[in-house]
Amino acid sequence: MTIARRSRPQRLRPLAAFPAAASSYWFGIFPLVGGELRRWRQLADAIPEPALRRHAVEKLTEEHVTAEGAAAFAILAPRRRRAALVRAVVAFEVMYDYLDGVTEAHPTLANNRSLHRALRAAVDARAPLSEDLYRHHPHRDDGGYLVQLVLACRRGLAAAPAAARVTEALVVATERAAEAQSLNHAGRGDDHRALAAWARASVGDDQPDLRWFEFAASASSPLGIFALCAAATLERTGPAEVAATASAYFPWVAALNYLSESLVDRADDLRTGNHSYVGRYDSERELGARLGEIARRSVRELSALPCSSRHLLLLAGMVALNLTHERARDAGARDAAEAIRTAIGPAVEPFLLMLRMRRAARRLRATWRAAVRRCSRAAAGRRWRARRRRWYAGDRR
């Protein structure tokens, strides 16, 4: 399908919204994320079972940026409702990442499905929490960590005025994500026939050009869930707005999110034997063409939403987060990354600059800390040698 190109004013419109959105995020939302992540780190450190504690701590340490990205959806919410929304989406993303690690370690379908029932429970207060989510897992004592994540998400959503009107759409999205993740992790090596069969059966009649693995990738992404949570904070949200938001993010935006992450992770997936969605394409040329097309479809869908400039900024920020990763510059990923960047347009440029500066600052800070540690060790060595010399001098006297 050929997508009509946007006019230059349309492509530049999100840039006009960037200063206000960036200010809202860095000065109002980002500090809230830090507090939430510190709270979850304290609870993760207290998990009694060592294997579960390791998964929780590793995810919070290595993938905290995904929670920062989830919280960015609070730029769509009224200022007075942002704290509750941040609490909900950060808890959901932390839970999503934790379940990803726990189910990868013990990837039986029964275990995956049981644990991923927590996703629906987090957005639907009607879902029971009394059942043992870990009943098919060899380790069970998480000290209430998973249930606390579910309850934090519920409490954050309960404060939203349109929460009841988005619940059914959230149930559909979370159950779809749970099944996609469960089948993906249950696959052995290259055997993902069950995932492929489910995805082929689930592709809608209005999505004839969507390939099964692109559908599975889009089903696995939580971006649409975060957009629906943000819609719940708006009093004007009704059935039409819920349907528009859900269809705008799924499948195209969600697919772009997950496939661009898969592009960055491809080398690691090949090394570890994990399923690579982008590895399903027949060639690098096809990979670049499809990701460019999916990016153009994503832009078109989001452009039709209210506050489209902020939705497009969220898309650009998500894309930039992956494109600034060092592995996005590898030969196999470079052409696809450039196709995505071209399709998104100028809105991605300030994010690329900002994220590159942030990564450079982190490297500089790490270098500085390493230098300080070396100087401290050297100073400690000099003090020890000086004491030893004084001791020898006193002993000879």
pLDDT band at 2 (very low <50, low <70, confident <90, very high): very low
Q: Say what the pLDDT of residue 367 is.
A: 73
Q: Is residue 56 predicted with pLDDT exceeding 60?
A: yes
At 39 the pLDDT is 97
Instruction: Kindly report the average pLDDT of the chain as a whole number.
Output: 89
Q: What is the DSSP letter of 73?
A: G
pLDDT-derived band at 5 (thresholds 50, 70, 90) equals low
pLDDT band at 1 (very low <50, low <70, confident <90, very high): very low
Query: Which of 141-155, 178-192, 263-277 shows the lowest mean pLDDT across its residues?
Result: 263-277
The better pLDDT of the pair 244, 378 is held by 244
Q: Is the pLDDT of residue 301 over 80?
A: yes
- Residue 136 CA, chain-centre distance (Å), reads 26
Provide the pLDDT for residue 7. Answer: 54
Average pLDDT over residues 325-334: 72
pLDDT at res. 384: 75
pLDDT tens for each residue of 142-179 = 999 999 999 999 999 998 999 999 999 999 999 999 99
What is the structure's pLDDT at 189? 63
Residue 275 pLDDT level (bands cut at 50, 70, 90): confident
End-to-end CA distance of the chain: 93
Average pLDDT, integer, range 271-295: 89
Instruction: Show me where the domains of the chain are located.
Output: 8-396
CA dihedral 233, 350, 24, 15 (to 10 degrees): -70
Instruction: Give the distance from CA 31 to its chain's centroid.
Output: 18
What average pLDDT does this structure show over 249-278? 87
Burial (CB count within 10 angstroms: exposed 0-12, middle 13-18, buried 19+), residue 77: buried
Give the mean model confidence (pLDDT) for residues 292-317: 95
- In CATH, the architecture of 8-396 is Orthogonal Bundle (1.10)
